[in-house]
Structure 1
Amino acid sequence: MHQLITLPTLHPIYMQLLDSLDIGIHVVNHEGTSVIYNKRMSEMEDMDKKDVLNKNIMDIFLFNSEEESRLLQALHKGSIRKNAKQTYFTYKGQEITTINNTYPLIHEGLIIGAVEIAKDITKLERLSRVTSLEKVGAKFTFDQIIGNSRAIVEVIENAKKATRTTSSVLIIGETGTGKELFAQSIHSGSDRSSKPFISQNCAALPDTLIESILFGTVKGAFTGATEHPGLFEQANGGTLMLDEINSLSATLQAKLLRAIQEKTIRRIGDTKDRPIDVRILATMNEDPLRAIQKNNLREDLYYRLSVVSIVIPPLKKRKEDIFSLVEHFIMKYNSRFQLNVPGVSEEIKNLFLEYDWPGNVRELEHMIEGAMNLINYDEQIDFSHLPTHVRTKFPLYELPTVSTQPVLEGSPPKPLQKYMEDAEKVYVEQILKQNNGNITQAAKDLGLSRQSLQYRIKKLHILMRKA
């Protein structure tokens, strides 16, 4: 069992075996450092092995706290979870949903690591969220888009102009920037606002499924097929939003282009064309020109969809809007949780301006919601309420408390050298604790070499927690 803990000792044949499995496998050692990460897990989470192996799990995934990591729960508490659903974010801001089996690895009565075996259900989770096969109205308007930065105001003004026509619109932005918010606002501000707004996520769904969802079926088209209108027909007179359009196959992109150009669709198994009056709003989370180069997007479809192009800036490009968003989310969750949180501390404001927000506005909202689950009724959000992965990236915001009380008259003053040593010990102990005793990562946070930190640990008589 010890051999499973250190990757170099794992025989290459065993690693090939793990890489051939159609399930994800992730193993961490006693420090929470990733030591095994197979090919399927890498594909599921869209992360290279080099970005995961030999790194602490809290530095890789955007959990609000260690309690949200099943691996760390297994490692620190011996928890066993079977067939448990989990949704989380990678450090790239990508949302992942899996069904997991998580176990501690025990040797001679001690927990020496943890393993997670995962099956990807992200596609099914996305499909369950869509408004598929139901006519719904848009919930959002431009008044609900928060921000006064020049970057976002310009985008809002351009999007408002798009409400005057029926031209197709291509909305481009990273995950979590609010692409559907803009799409719904365009629909709500248009003459089609009283008609259906239907949203469909196209990401990585099987061609046969997405084709029948979009274009509909006739009875007998295939085994079990019934007479059913597709989303184009259901959205007739209104708006159809196609999310992650670049995920469609080239064949379906060609059929979509034909439907947009000819304003007709043909159900699967049918012999006649049906007229449609639908405005298309498409979204992408990557540069369309790069998608064309990678053959993920047909060039002719791009030009048809991008009659109007709207590029939503990531949150790191509009940081002056952060505090308006923070205020909005605090008000939202004050109401929902029956709290009276007044805001965030000054140190948190500075931290938020430094953070790069890989998950964008969605990540900011989740961070505020998570903090308000840990807070007292009227307490201000401070550093201690932030998720662990953020706290470990900003250790200087959690400075140790060293006594600044004036020396009492008659008591011997503490020599400056002794005072500095005491302060150094407190700070080093704190950084080591934040990194769960990982000397390599703690040394990196402190700006020291590993050897230099080990010297200070010995010099300052710091007791290390045993694994």
Structure 2
Amino acid sequence: MENRSSVNAISNKRLNRSNYEDKLLCLEKIIDNLDDGVLLTDKNGKIIIYNRAMEELEKRKASDMVGKFIWEAYEYFDKNKSEHMRVLKSGSPITKRYKAHAYNEDGPVYKLYSTFPIEIDGEIIGVYSISKNETRLQFLLSEITEMKNEFFRQRILKSDDINPNGTKFTFSDIIGSSNVMKKLIQEAQSVAWIDNNILLVGDTGTGKEVFAQSIHNYGNRNSEPFIGVNCASIPENLLESTLFGTVRGAYTGALDSPGLIEQAGSGTLFLDEIHNMPVNMQAKLLRVLQERIVRRIGGSQNYPVKCRIISAINEDPFQLIENGQLRQDLYYRLAGYCLYIPPLIERENDIFELSEYFIKKSNLIMGKNVIYMTDRLKEIMKNYSWPGNVRELEHFIASIMIRTNVNDKYLRAKNAPKYLINMMKANCGNYYEIQSGSNLTLQEKLDSIEKKMILEALDSNLWNVTKTAKELGVTRQSLIYRMRKLGIKRKENRD
């Protein structure tokens, strides 16, 4: 009987342990084998869980993270900048963000994540984040997009094909199979499903609105309106009423009219050339975005701001801030995520894929039968810098197609307007003189010189970005932007 009692006592102990310790061990195993990254901090901000998926996402080791304060682990000099500490203090979760908190040898690590407080008996005892690993999904989406691109290249969309939501373009309409464009499309698809405001940075004619519409159509707002406006095309005295709306009698001729922010509803408002908006108007827009309410001019009723803002600029944003053309606080409000759209010259052989598309489009419109391009024309096009980018290329192809004989199957340089060819030849002449026989374009050479200067300055300053920026005479943000644009990777000993 005593032996049986002893066995029962041991069993009860195991049972009691199962209800607590074994359960904790099981939960730790489960968390460690999840596909999503999990990071847990205690009420003091110390990391106590950093699972295997987070290791894979951020290319870090749990042994280097667990036990550290989160602001130290992620190299925040001010602990109040840590979102975990903000959630711990406020008790309010931060959901569906797409942002870089970590850097590795390949650059910033962007991930979709949400951060939640853990509250027991009215006290917040910890904060945890769940980060989505989208690598497999992005791979599949990329394959699907490539298949759709191939399909849509076989047909030409008519210019009046407008979707009910006010858009014309999707990712399938973006022509080009260069690695830089494939990566950009994957990035854009990743941010399409979240609510962050997006800033598109790219030269004139690179297709910023095409990307804006594609992002809208790819995400969960695709059934809502897409409304675009060029901030440079509207006079200053009309811009405020255009965006915010008016009530009758606010000024002579004013009617009850909703602004574009209201009209966009839960959809997307695209603000092109946002840096050309007057600075005082930028301040008013910032207030609306911060408070998430808009009031019509002359009115007293507030309307909630539900739309997502996608904005675009065609210059270095940090240079614009430095020059006083763009408010820094507005930039950070608009740039929840920043996408850099490369110029045509950086897109490898996309120029000829695009040309093929524009030729097919012109064949359909003009009743021509062009299939090929002469080698001479290709050589001129290849060595031209294309300052107007895709828009200039489309105009160039159309100009030659107009002068091409109906029965001619070749697109020929001799059929281009003389002023265009002279301009391109002059550009090519400078190109050959500067390159001294190399195969680089002028833009590539300039980028190469800039990259060399930045790398030399970084090396001489032991990769301290702040000191390097000071030496080069630019702001720290501007230098980081140029490093990303030129593909300069941060080293382990970054500042």
- Name the TM-score class by shorter chain: 0.5 to 0.7
1:218 to 243, 247, 251: 247
Cα distance, 1:391 vs structure 2: 2.1
The one-letter amino acid of 2:418's match is T
Is residue 381 from structure 1 mapped to residue 421 from structure 2 by the alignment? no
Instruction: Give CA-to-partner distance per residue, 1:412-466, whole Å, 9 cap, x none.
Output: xxxxxxxxxxxxxxxxxxxxxxxxxxxxxxxx9xxxxxxxxxxxxxxxxxxxxxx
The one-letter amino acid of 2:219's match is S
Partner of 1:195, secondary structure, is coil
The one-letter amino acid of 1:233's match is E
Is residue 345 from structure 1 mapped to residue 374 from structure 2 by the alignment? yes
2:316 to 272, 275, 287: 287
Question: Are the aligned partners of 1:245 and 1:282 in contact in 2 as well (CA < 8 Å)?
Answer: yes
- 5 Å matches for 1:122-133? none
For 1:61, the equivalent position in structure 2 comes to none
Is residue 196 from structure 1 mapped to residue 209 from structure 2 by the alignment? no
Cα distance, 1:229 vs structure 2: 0.3
For 2:26, the equivalent position in structure 1 comes to none
The one-letter amino acid of 1:170's match is L
Is residue 366 from structure 1 mapped to residue 395 from structure 2 by the alignment? yes
Question: Are the aligned partners of 1:330 and 1:343 in contact in 2 as well (CA < 8 Å)?
Answer: no
Cα distance, 1:205 vs structure 2: 3.0
For 2:359, the equivalent position in structure 1 comes to 330
Question: Are the aligned partners of 1:330 and 1:368 in contact in 2 as well (CA < 8 Å)?
Answer: yes
2:201 to 172, 188, 199: 172
Question: Are the aligned partners of 2:165 and 2:223 in contact in 1 as well (CA < 8 Å)?
Answer: no
Question: Are the aligned partners of 2:202 and 2:341 in contact in 1 as well (CA < 8 Å)?
Answer: yes
Question: Are the aligned partners of 1:204 and 1:248 in contact in 2 as well (CA < 8 Å)?
Answer: no
Counterpart CA distance in 1 for 2:417 and 2:190 is 40
- 5 Å matches for 1:67-466? 136-203=165-232, 205-379=234-408, 380-393=410-423
Question: Are the aligned partners of 1:342 and 1:378 in contact in 2 as well (CA < 8 Å)?
Answer: no
Instruction: Give CA-to-partner distance per residue, 1:36-79, whole Å, 9 cap, x none.
Output: xxxxxxxxxxxxxxxxxxxxxxxxxxxxxxxxxxxxxxxxxxxx
Task: Go from structure 1 to structure 2 and tell me whether the alpha carbon gap of 1:394 and 1:207 turns closer, same or farther (over 3 Å shift).
Answer: closer
Counterpart CA distance in 1 for 2:382 and 2:201 is 24
Partner of 2:186, secondary structure, is helix
Counterpart CA distance in 2 for 1:243 and 1:290 is 18
Counterpart CA distance in 2 for 1:233 and 1:204 is 20
For 1:103, the equivalent position in structure 2 comes to none
Task: Go from structure 1 to structure 2 and tell me whether the alpha carbon gap of 1:344 and 1:234 turns closer, same or farther (over 3 Å shift).
Answer: same
Q: Which runs of 5+ in 1 are unaligned?
A: 1-134, 398-443, 445-467
Counterpart CA distance in 1 for 2:299 and 2:424 is 60
Query: Number of paired residues?
Result: 267
Cα distance, 1:395 vs structure 2: 5.5
Partner of 1:191, secondary structure, is coil
The one-letter amino acid of 2:179's match is R
The one-letter amino acid of 2:269's match is L
Question: Are the aligned partners of 1:168 and 1:308 in contact in 2 as well (CA < 8 Å)?
Answer: yes
Question: Are the aligned partners of 1:233 and 1:276 in contact in 2 as well (CA < 8 Å)?
Answer: yes
More helix by share: 2
Counterpart CA distance in 1 for 2:273 and 2:424 is 34
Task: Go from structure 1 to structure 2 and tell me whether the alpha carbon gap of 1:396 and 1:203 turns closer, same or farther (over 3 Å shift).
Answer: closer
Cα distance, 1:382 vs structure 2: 1.1
The one-letter amino acid of 2:281's match is L
Partner of 1:225, secondary structure, is coil
Q: Which runs of 5+ in 2 are unaligned?
A: 1-163, 428-432, 434-495
Counterpart CA distance in 2 for 1:144 and 1:362 is 14
The one-letter amino acid of 1:154's match is K
Partner of 2:270, secondary structure, is strand
Cα distance, 1:137 vs structure 2: 1.8
Q: Name the % identity.
A: 45
Question: Are the aligned partners of 1:201 and 1:242 in contact in 2 as well (CA < 8 Å)?
Answer: yes
Question: Are the aligned partners of 2:244 and 2:261 in contact in 1 as well (CA < 8 Å)?
Answer: yes
Cα distance, 1:251 vs structure 2: 1.5
Counterpart CA distance in 1 for 2:426 and 2:249 is 66
Cα distance, 1:349 vs structure 2: 1.1
Instruction: Give CA-to-partner distance per residue, 1:273-322, whole Å, 9 cap, x none.
Output: 21121010000011100100111100001011111101110111114101
The one-letter amino acid of 2:270's match is M
Counterpart CA distance in 2 for 1:337 and 1:324 is 20
Counterpart CA distance in 1 for 2:180 and 2:288 is 34
Higher relative contact order (CA 8 A, sep 6+): 1
Cα distance, 1:393 vs structure 2: 4.2
Cα distance, 1:373 vs structure 2: 0.4
For 1:425, the equivalent position in structure 2 comes to none
Cα distance, 1:204 vs structure 2: 5.5
Partner of 1:316, secondary structure, is helix
